[in-house]
Structure 1
């Protein structure tokens, strides 16, 4: 049970339009944003980060890869809420089902390229708290990505660092449509349907 109940969408006041925008992207109204809407200025700030970091049409990193990075980051933190969301968002943004199911095995699975492995390794090591990414991990990342792309990838990790902490702390309840989706895809994330 959530520690703080989400507010009604209409009660979210100045954050309502941004929450509706996100719902248009995902297909559901996120309980995390409704909970943040107890302080609508915080919800709006987080939603602006989401728009800039992981839903940016001007991104130079493939959206599918960004969602894989978000998912591995959330898995490394054990956040059931964000893991389920990033699994669904990955599927919605072009990550094939077999890759989604194999993400935790990215280092050894033939499904992943060296480019993807570099980004996912940073998601794993950089997504932990404290971050354990080292100079060698960053050097491998630099071999495959421009500086601007590294900033994009690391911004996704940092954004989900916040989201993972927020939702784990609040014990945010998964939306029924997300539970239905992950159950239909045989998802095995951290207590995905709890």
Structure 2
């Protein structure tokens, strides 16, 4: 159980009911972090707008992979569950996720993926442990624009996972059984 109970649909005003409807349509269930954030509607709306804008600007298999790794490293079971579900519905090979802890030596990951995952690990350390060599190498491999996007996405997942961890928000079963709650479009 979370440290702060989310706002129930029956207690939600018109705006929150609309947000809950949209979330249920998109994900098959209302994400619990959203219901907790609903106690502060302005923060919820700001966060939602930000997430939608980032989704349009930054996406792709490599970005999803580093987000997943960051969630694993921080121990955010909600983020791991939700991320795996999104990756599955994005057509990505989620079997590789079982080997994410062995990314550095596993042939399941490309050289670029291994370097990006190591970068995600370094960014997620406290204090941050990113080296000049990592930035230089990734910039050469990806280009500056993509490196900026990768860095932003890892930082954003750090924010999400730490928010969820602070409120003890656990996985919601998005990938349990045959569920994968996101409706296929």
TM-score (structure 1 length as normaliser): 0.80
- The CA distance in 2 between the partners of 1:32 and 1:72, in whole Å, is 19
Distance apart, 1:184 and its partner CA:
6.0
Higher relative CO (Cα under 8 Å, sequence separation at least 6) belongs to: 2
| Distance in 1 separating the partners of 2:157 and 2:117 | 14
**What secondary structure does 2:141 align onto?**
coil
Residues 18 and 128 of structure 1: is their aligned pair in 2 closer, same or farther, counting only changes over 3 Å? farther
8 A contact 2:37–2:44 mirrored in 1 = yes
Matching residue of 1:45: 46
Q: Which residue of 1 aligns with 2:34?
A: 33
Instruction: Judge conservation of contact 1:7–1:35 (CA < 8 Å) in 2.
Output: yes
Deviations 1:37-92 (A, max 9, x none): 10011111222222122x22x54x52x22211111011111112212221222222
SS in 1 for 2:152: helix
Report the counterpart of residue 8 of structure 2 in structure 1. Answer: 8
Output the CA distance in 2 between the equivalents of 1:119 and 1:92: 22
Distance 1:95 1:52, change over 3 A: same
For 1:149, the equivalent position in structure 2 comes to 146
The answer to whether the Cα contact below 8 Å between 1:13 and 1:40 also exists between their aligned partners in 2 is no
Indicate conservation of the 8 Å contact 1:71/1:82, yes or no. Answer: yes
Closer/same/farther in 2, CA of residues 123 and 18 from structure 1, 3 Å limit: farther
Unaligned runs of 5+ in 1: 186-194
Return the index of the structure with the highest Cα Rg: 2
The number of aligned residues is 178
Q: Tell me what 2:182 maps to.
A: none
Distance 1:52 1:128, change over 3 A: farther
Distance, in Å, in 1 between the alignment partners of 2:23 and 2:64 is 15
Once the two structures are superposed, the pairs formed by residues 110-125 of structure 1 within 5 Å of their partners are 110-125=107-122
In the TM superposition, what whole-angstrom CA distance separates every residue of 1:97-121 from its partner, at most 9, and x where no partner exists? 3212122221111111112122212
Look up the SS of the partner of 1:129 in the other structure.
coil
Q: Which runs of 5+ in 2 are unaligned?
A: 180-185
Q: How does 1:51-70 map to 2 (within 5 A)?
A: 51-53=52-54, 55-56=55-56, 58-59=57-58, 61-62=59-60, 64-70=61-67
CA RMSD of aligned residues (A): 2.3
Return the TM-score normalized by structure 2: 0.84
